[in-house]
Amino acid sequence: MDIKKPMSFKTTDRAHADLFNKVVDQLNENDQLIVNYIDEIDQKTATKKELDSHVKDGTLHITEHDRHRWNESQLFNITQEDGQGKINIHENEDFHVVLPQHTGLIHFTAESGALNGPGPSIRGIWTCNSEGNEGQIIAFDRANKTYRKSILGGKWTEWTELETTAGSQTKVDAHADNPDLHISEQERKKWSSGQLYKLTNDQGSRTRLQSGADILKLPTGFYVALGNEVQNNPVQDSSWFTYDVIEADLERKTIYAWRTYDNTLWHGSVHTDGIFKGWKRIITAADLEPAWTEVPLKNGASHGDRKVRCGLIGGLLILEGEIVTKRGVVFGTLPEAYRPSKFRSRIVPIFGTTGMTKLYIEPDGNMRLEGQIADKLENITSYGLDEVIPL
């Protein structure tokens, strides 16, 4: 196609000619661009001969049968292109990290010493689900040993070496020839009739408890421990304690605990369904002998024929002695360990004549006498304080 260029304007009016010729120049430039574009298209457009030759080229085209066969084929590689293992686990790599990254079925190799490997270098098959948290390994080493390992729910098993028939028979033969592993009928009867439960350690001594052991959870046996190292001890101190524990059915048990330095004994019981009934200290004759302490007097009071003393038996305050004092004033104060938890009062006798008065004891330990009934006031010599008072 020939494109004819517009002619330039020629006129005696130079100004008008220049104005119109600018438009003509632009039209000519556009026409040239169109010609260049058409030439490019012609160069890229195949001739009919070339098109026919392309259509007849069987190498460049596939058949419908080829397309269907290839689309239905297995596209996932289980090995490298040369048939070798798809991955190799190096000695500084971890089986548990590398393999779950490769889901599906693959052939792998591993160097000896790889983390979480069986030890020697192996090659084998790994199959895994799409999430990488369930799979199995079957692998072989150069010594013809077979190993297996699996992962389930993200948790790995240990390696298992699969036994061969020859290996099993060798072990059976070795076992059958070992007299140390077999016993006689006489030995069997003796041991079957014996006490099989161990009450002590192998030396016949009490078992030393570990720090933090719970006394209430011990099985039947004889034990020893420091009192401040175990749980649920009768008292918290650093003395040595021994324990005798006997279990029964339904979680019942009896426990005896001795503090060895002073021979103090506690007993406790765990009742049905493991309910602990508490510790009870066993009282001896020595416990019923109070350790007497003299009561400090004040406000002009003095001792009578017997000194005023105090002592403790269990939860009881024991008073004894005679006091010479005025009524209505504090005549003495009990030491702190001997003071009652609340206000207490007692009727006490008057000595020197027939009569009585009231003894008041405050929680702060202060003691005084209030009121009196007496046959002859002038004959009063002292007041008796022989009393047992609950704390």
pLDDT of res. 23: 61
Task: Provide the pLDDT for residue 169.
Answer: 83
pLDDT at 123: 94
What rounded mean pLDDT belongs to the chain? 87
Contact by Cβ (8 Å): 260, 245 = no
pLDDT for position 357:
97
Residue linked to tokens 């028979």: 169
Neighbouring C-beta atoms of residue 62, cutoff 10 Å: 12
Residue 258: name the closest of 278, 238, 281 by CA. Answer: 281
* Cα angle 356-359-365, degrees, rounded to a multiple of 5: 165
Alpha-carbon distance 49 to 155, whole Å? 68
Residue 147 near residue 139, CB atoms below 8 Å: yes
- Which of 306, 325, 307, 303 lies closest to 380, judged by CA? 325
Six token digits for residue 87: 């991955």
What are phi and psi for residue 89, nearest 5 degrees?
Answer: -95, 115
What's the pLDDT score for residue 157? Answer: 95
Spatial strand order of the sheet with 275-281 comes to: 207-208, 221-226, 240-247, 253-259, 264-271, 275-281
With the CA atoms of 214, 216, 218 and 219 taken in that order, what torsion angle do they form, in degrees rounded to the nearest 10?
A: -160
Q: How many whole angstroms separate alpha carbon 355 and alpha carbon 115?
A: 98
Chain centroid offset of residue 222 CA: 29
The span from the CA of 117 to the CA of 159, in Å, is 8
Phi, psi of 198 (to 5 degrees): -85, 120
Taking 50 as the pLDDT cut, the residues of the chain under it are: none
- Give the whole-angstrom CA distance, residue 69 versus residue 85: 26
Please write the tens of the pLDDT for every residue from 137-166: 999 999 989 999 999 999 999 999 998 887
| Cα–Cα dist 170/165, whole Å | 9
Under DSSP, the state recorded for 388 is: E
> What 3-state DSSP class applies to 111?
coil
Q: Is 278 helix (H, G, I), strand (E, B) or coil?
A: strand
Q: In this predicted structure, what is the pLDDT of residue 29?
A: 74
DSSP string, 17-73: HHHHHHHHHHHHHHHHHHHHHHHHHHHHSPPHHHHHHHHT-SSS---HHHHHHHHTS
pTM, two decimal places: 0.41
